[in-house]
Chains A and B, each alone.
Chain A
Amino acid sequence: MGILKVNNLVKHFDGIKAVDDLSFEVKKGTITALIGPNGSGKTTTFNLITGFSRPTLGKIRFHGTDITRLAPYKIFNCGMGRTFQNIRLFPQMTVLENILLGLKYQRGGSLTAAIFRTSGMLREEEENTKRAMALLKTIGLEGKRDELADSLSHGQRRLVEIARTLGTDSEFYLFDEPTAGVFPNTIPTLLSIIEDLKAKGKTILFIEHNMKVVMDISDNIIVLNHGKKIAEGTPSEIQNNAAVLDAYMGKRRNRAT
């Protein structure tokens, strides 16, 4: 039941192996966490999966089709939505516009629809505005709809980016450090968003440094270090894994001798 299959993925940056022979599988309808120390290749793995970076070697399959060298927008069209570690909004556009850009336009997105201002486009715009407002409501920012994304706080921008990705109605979501830099009060909102997605049968892969979050919501955890997978398992398995402790805390020296 693996919806996403990564096989022997390798990425070199001028001799540095950012990702080194990485293989894993993500099961449909689960929440999988990708963890590891800084520089262990988590974000690089995300970029390889979503097409923003091309692997040196290896294969990525989504729903059984090879998506390894597709353009990012094509991978998106296969049903993969993502967010970024360093939040990428459209800064000089309003919050509402940011959300609207994530929504699908069937008839109204074309040049001809724009020039002739077709009734189909206007209707779709109205429906999408309603949907966008509903999304803003789930993140509690409906009052900010007409403010520029640039003027929001870091945590609010994080929420808007996640809401924009939710609007894409993808099957598979990749969140890169969704709780980083977010006010602690906001974290439960984020977690309930992610758990709602799971309840709707969506699949989630996320990178996270907050171990409490990881242990609370993950079904499966993959641990990377130096681009290699050093462990994989359920939260309780990972908590007791010696290799993981070594990677995070450093190797225990044997002082008894």
Chain B
Amino acid sequence: MDYVLHILIISGIYIILTLSLNLIVGYTGLAALGHIAFACVGAYASSLIALNFGISPWIGLMVGACVASLLGLVIGFPSIRLKGDYLALATFGFGVIVYSVSKNWVDLTRGPMGLPGIPKFSFFGFELQPVWAYLTLVTVFVFITAFIINRIVDSPFGRILKSIREDEVASLSIGKNIVKYKLIVFIVGAFFAGIAGSLYAHYITFIDPSSFTAMESIAVLLMVVFGGMGSIRGSFIGALILIIFPEMLRFLGMPSSVAAPLRQMIYGLLLVVLMIRRPQGIIGQYRFK
């Protein structure tokens, strides 16, 4: 039972990541490939202040999100002037930089040894020990994130974001300062990714750089595209399927030497088929131009 709850918690954390990346990629049309860097910074910031200064994870969560959005500003500022593939490469590069810093700044992050013993969230002095309690907490954050992002996209502000995705030149011609909007989107997206990272750190209670590799950024992007760009429900579906489906393949009842590579292959095949049959994602409406 705890195993199922664990998978749901991880799914929830990925839903937050997917929703926040969908704001950047699906709604604003910015091909960003370094999203996990924001989660990395959020996770390390909130873990480090909890371990070194004994600051409550609740405050750490906010600090982590704010440090992540600061990184969003730092990464966004030089990158958003780039377009399409170039933006993707630049953000990918920043993702790699953040990963190597977390791995090599041993004095701060303990590098590959990771940070053990990160405190859990506590509620009125009681630590959130049972898995179901943690699932409740993550679920609350998933819905807060979905609620806020839904409000952002379903507004005159969100309309401007979509106009940037549709045609930047036209958007400029009616007076939209697209650089400003792109930067805001980067900061907001990074904020929620920071929350996801911090939730992860205080749940697993151990983090190391291997959780924040470039592959993770790509996985989150896959969830966005798989579920549907520019769709809130799509982000839920994309993250849930791509987390739960590989887990289900565990129970095929094959020897583990066959099962593990087979899982990878079925997963890959699923993506290829989806992209051929439904390039706009399961319930999305938009596709890459």
Q: What residues of chain A have their CB less than 8 Å away from a CB belonging to chain B? A: 50, 52, 71-73, 76-77, 81-82, 84, 88-93, 97, 100-102, 105, 108-111, 113-115, 117, 121, 124-125, 128, 164-165, 168
Contacts and interface: CB of A to CB of B under 8 A. Distances in A.
Contacts of B4: none
Contact of B163 (A71, A77, A93, A105): A93
Contacts of A52: 169, 172-173
Interface stretch (B92-100, B153-161, B214-222, B256-264): B153-161
Contact of B286 (A89, A92, A105, A117): A92
A236 to B, nearest CB: 34
Given A90-B167, A92-B166, A97 B174 contact: no
Contacts of A124: 156
A89 B159 contact: no
B176 interface: yes
A82 B171 CA distance: 11
A108 B249 CA distance: 48
Interface in B146-193: 148, 151-152, 154-160, 162-163, 166-167, 169-178, 184, 188
Contacts of B176: 73, 101
B144 to A, nearest CB: 11
Contacts of A90: 162-163, 166-167, 170-171
Contacts of A91: 166-167
Interface residues of B, number: 28
A115 to B, nearest CB: 5
21 contacts: A52-B169, A72-B173, A82-B173, A84-B169, A88-B173, A89-B166, A89-B167, A90-B167, A92-B286, A101-B171, A101-B174, A101-B176, A102-B174, A105-B156, A109-B156, A111-B157, A111-B184, A113-B157, A115-B148, A124-B156, A125-B156
Interface string B122-166: 000000000000000000000000001001101111111011001
A124 to B, nearest CB: 8
A165 B163 CA distance: 15
Contacts of A117: 151, 155
A180 B64 CA distance: 55
A147 to B, nearest CB: 14
B104 interface: no
A92 B152 CA distance: 18
B285 interface: yes
A101 B159 contact: yes
Contacts of B160: 101, 109
A84 B170 CA distance: 9
Given A109-B157, A114-B158, A72 B172 contact: yes
A20 to B, nearest CB: 25
Contacts of B169: 52, 84, 88
A200 to B, nearest CB: 19
A73 B155 contact: no
A15 to B, nearest CB: 25
Given A92-B286, A101-B160, A110-B157, A115 B151 contact: yes
Nearest to A98: B163
Contacts of B152: 111, 114-115
Contacts of B286: 92
B174 A76 contact: yes
Contacts of A113: 155-157
